[in-house]
């Protein structure tokens, strides 16, 4: 991901200095005009804006601890994946050393970084975002989600949860067809994909188990349908772990029924 981010900046004509914990990984970027720093300290000194994209929160702290003095008075844009709590604690840690954090969440895979399909979430002080956004724009559409430095991570993890939920649902659907000897490829092509595409707006708009129940919704009917899906899954011998999303949905429907 770090390679893709640096490549997008180079593609936009920006001056880029790169540093990697594993030497030699930047050769392709150097051929495109990047400059390679010999240390994290040198990389920070080279530019007006420092972007970090490492494995996890621990690696960010490990990398920055020896060079915190160089970040005093500067802004760090952290695009490393992590939790909301980690982002908030990182902001406090940097703040105690005179640095400011603009936390980020990358809503894109490396191949789409720098394209119209990429969005990068940011959270932290609005003035930091406003100043940094023009420089960050080549990476993907910059979208500010709030002053709380943990919000970018929270929104990122929540969106990924939705994606994985759909993935598990599709995996369960395919497992049912395979268990009963059906044509899996035809099912995916002719039934599952078009159905999920048509239902996506309703899936997102209705995703609030704690919210009000729409007038047109019938929780009792939905609960019965979910019970039938669970029964079908059990009869087909599909592992119950794959049906976790159905159990969760049934719980939500029963809760909505009780609320009524």
pLDDT at 4 over 70: yes
Output the pLDDT for position 153.
Answer: 96
Nearest to 79 by CA among 165, 162, 8: 8
Output the pLDDT for position 39.
Answer: 93
Cβ contacts of residue 244 below 8 Å, gap of 6+? 168
How confident is the model over 56-91, as pLDDT tens digits? 999 999 999 999 999 999 999 999 999 999 999 999
Rg for the chain, CA atoms, rounded: 23
How does the average pLDDT of the chain come out, rounded? 91
Nearest to 100 by CA among 62, 142, 128, 137: 128
How confident is the model over 125-135, as pLDDT tens digits? 999 999 999 99
Output the pLDDT for position 215.
Answer: 46
Average of pLDDT values for 4-30?
93
Measured distance CA(227)–CA(230) in Å, rounded: 5
How confident is the model over 195-225, as pLDDT tens digits? 999 988 888 876 665 555 444 457 778 888 8
pTM value surpassing 0.85:
no
The 10 Å Cβ neighbour count of residue 126 is 12
Tokens found for residue 149:
């430095």
Residue count of the chain: 260
What is residue 30's three-state secondary structure? helix
Average of pLDDT values for 109-130?
96
What domains can you pick out in the chain, each with its CATH number?
2-146 (3.40.50.720), 156-259 (1.10.1040.10)
How confident is the model over 12-21, as pLDDT tens digits? 999 999 999 8
Output the pLDDT for position 11.
Answer: 96
């Amino acid at each position: 991901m770090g390679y893709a981010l640096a490549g997008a900046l180079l593609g936009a004509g920006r001056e880029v200095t790169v540093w990697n914990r594993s030497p030699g990984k930047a050769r392709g970027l150097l051929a495109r005009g990047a400059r390679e720093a010999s240390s994290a300290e040198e990389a920070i000194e080279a530019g007006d804006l420092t972007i970090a994209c490492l494995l996890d929160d621990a690696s960010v702290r490990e990398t920055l601890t020896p060079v915190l003095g160089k970040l005093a008075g500067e802004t760090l844009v952290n695009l490393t994946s992590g939790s909301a709590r980690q982002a908030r604690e990182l902001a406090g840690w940097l703040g105690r050393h005179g640095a400011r954090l603009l936390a980020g969440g990358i809503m894109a895979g490396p191949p789409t970084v720098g394209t119209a399909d990429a969005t990068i979430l940011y959270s932290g002080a609005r003035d930091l975002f406003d100043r940094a956004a023009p420089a960050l724009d080549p990476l993907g559409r910059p979208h500010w989600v709030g002053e709380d430095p943990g919000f970018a991570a929270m929104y990122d993890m929540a969106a990924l949860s939705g994606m994985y939920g759909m993935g598990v649902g599709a995996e369960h659907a395919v497992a049912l067809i395979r268990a009963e000897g059906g044509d899996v490829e035809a099912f995916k092509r002719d039934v599952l994909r078009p159905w999920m595409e048509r239902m996506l707006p309703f899936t997102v708009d209705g995703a609030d188990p704690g919210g009000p129940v729409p007038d047109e919704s019938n929780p009792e009917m939905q609960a019965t349908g979910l019970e039938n899906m669970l029964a079908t899954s059990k009869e087909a011998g599909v592992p119950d772990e794959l049906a976790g999303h159905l159990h969760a949905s049934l719980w939500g429907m029963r809760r909505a029924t009780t609320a009524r």
